[in-house]
Structure 1
């Protein structure tokens, strides 16, 4: 809990007091920036800017809202600036083989996974207005869906439906009115509901429950099949509408035939290269970090996030940025 002496010391320029003031909120602020921006890289940059802005703005902090709410307001507005400028640039990568033509293109090539190890140690209890639980609100599908909303709708949904702030609080944090926030929430919810109907990517059953045992069993079968280069076994796990994506490339392969064609092309290139997949928890879903051996040399083998449904694989997202292989092993975000 923030003390008045701690706040006074921070306002007087005591950096240690400022660190003590903001440290309890760093993890959840990082997750907040990630939800809004969909990228670890952008969340890292945004959090740094938030801390600079908070340090410079301490004299203007009147204390009418909690330090946590004040920091969330700064973080939200910083992310809105990033979203409005549209300056996000995914890293350029290329496949080392000729791939078949994709069936579709993703709208979110900058999407990156979020390690469960980076989440707050003590789950943050959302306010009474929240519509999403902690698991659903960090799922890759949800974060990707947020990215197609206009910036102000993203802010309204994350602050209101994820964090549970009341509409009047959201309005104060974003410099608008409760009436405007209500409209933003209605439009954002409608778009997210349509996205859910179009892309039924969920491991939940009709009652909203998740069978983690089934999730992990499917994930392990996928990993073993991919390590063995057994395309048929991978494809057998897919639902009829299952698909494969690979950010930052925009390629999406939909359906068993298209996924099989891509994996066969990849398998031809991989011949003689051994792949191993180590389990890791990402976005509250089954994930793997790959390591490949090329002529005795160990090289990154990609990061995978899987989504399952009723004992089958709905989607596999294979992140091609080699930096992520080492990054997801870190235990917490870098403040």
Structure 2
């Protein structure tokens, strides 16, 4: 009975925890914790709110507890998980609010402001519902939302135009991904540079570096590109964007070992951003092989 009442909300809670924390690994751990806490408190559920609201309250408190201790580092979210929401109760995921730019933006907000932005502006909860879930007044919830929106407008005055993907990847963009992969595998750094827009941004996480503009990114690529045969890449998708799982082969070895996930932003048949996440464990989360 408990599983029937709660299991249908697993995937949307997973996405909610990811938006709150910015980490797919942390989201998985927190959803497990949500259901464990709910199971332990099942006898105290009085039915005054819906099961969904009850679970969201537990999820919010669990995430806020973690954020008080420090935020996890940002990770990409596998697109295939967005397609696994079961049953007619599944909530459609607004892929615009899954973009890496949006996730990076809201991670800069204080935790409670982040929660109220997600509840009100992403999930379309009412002011009263959000306030009740956060255990505060409507006035306080609205004040937190106002401060969050002000911060977001100051940093990104163009709103969604500044961080939303242009749309679902089309054939031309997938061809660009194929060229990006081929350039890496062939160590064709000049071919890779040809794919970059003038305002390209390259980031390598965690905290390796960030470069902005075609000249700076080109220098970084020329300095970091290995000889042909050192890289293999597998196409995938993350946060509603094109992505590639990266594998590297060390000197003297034959197997290619997991390296991380590269997430690409594309406009007008050119790359506008490359976000590389150096984390071998991410390839497992994306359902990719552990070696090639």
TM-score computed with the length of structure 2 as normaliser: 0.88
The yes-or-no answer on 1:238 pairing with 2:196 is yes
Describe the shift of the 1:192–1:168 C-alpha distance in structure 2 as closer, same or farther (beyond 3 A).
same
The yes-or-no answer on 1:291 pairing with 2:247 is yes
1:199-238 alignment runs, 5 A limit: 200-204=162-166, 209=167, 212-238=170-196
- 2:78 is matched with 115
Give the distance between the partners of 2:41 and 2:3, measured in 1 at CA: 14
* Structure 1 position 322, deviation (Å): 1.1
The yes-or-no answer on 1:21 pairing with 2:20 is no
2:68 to 84, 92, 101: 84
* Structure 1 position 197, deviation (Å): 4.4
State the SS of the aligned residue for 2:234: strand
TM-score computed with the length of structure 1 as normaliser: 0.77
Give the distance between the partners of 2:67 and 2:268, measured in 1 at CA: 36
Give the distance between the partners of 2:165 and 2:270, measured in 1 at CA: 9
Contact 1:201–1:315 (Cα < 8 Å) also in 2? no
Give the distance between the partners of 2:178 and 2:146, measured in 1 at CA: 39
* Structure 1 position 77, deviation (Å): 1.4
* Structure 1 position 210, deviation (Å): 5.0
Describe the shift of the 1:124–1:139 C-alpha distance in structure 2 as closer, same or farther (beyond 3 A).
farther
- 1:277 is matched with 233
Gaps of 5+ in 2: none
Describe the shift of the 1:285–1:31 C-alpha distance in structure 2 as closer, same or farther (beyond 3 A).
same
Give per-residue Cα distances to partners, 1:201-231, cap 9 Å, x unaligned. 4432xxxx55633432332222222222222
Describe the shift of the 1:279–1:231 C-alpha distance in structure 2 as closer, same or farther (beyond 3 A).
same
* Structure 1 position 272, deviation (Å): 5.1
Higher RCO, 1 vs 2 (CA within 8 Å, ≥6 residues apart): 1
Give per-residue Cα distances to partners, 1:6-28, cap 9 Å, x unaligned. xxxxxxxxxxx222222111111
Instruction: Tell me the C-alpha RMSD between the 2 structures.
Output: 2.2
Contact 1:34–1:42 (Cα < 8 Å) also in 2? yes
Contact 1:275–1:301 (Cα < 8 Å) also in 2? no
* Structure 1 position 173, deviation (Å): 0.3
* Structure 1 position 141, deviation (Å): 1.1
Give the distance between the partners of 1:239 and 1:203, measured in 2 at CA: 16
Give the distance between the partners of 1:187 and 1:214, measured in 2 at CA: 40
Gaps of 5+ in 1: 1-16, 89-109, 127-132, 331-335
Give the distance between the partners of 2:157 and 2:199, measured in 1 at CA: 13
* Structure 1 position 36, deviation (Å): 0.4
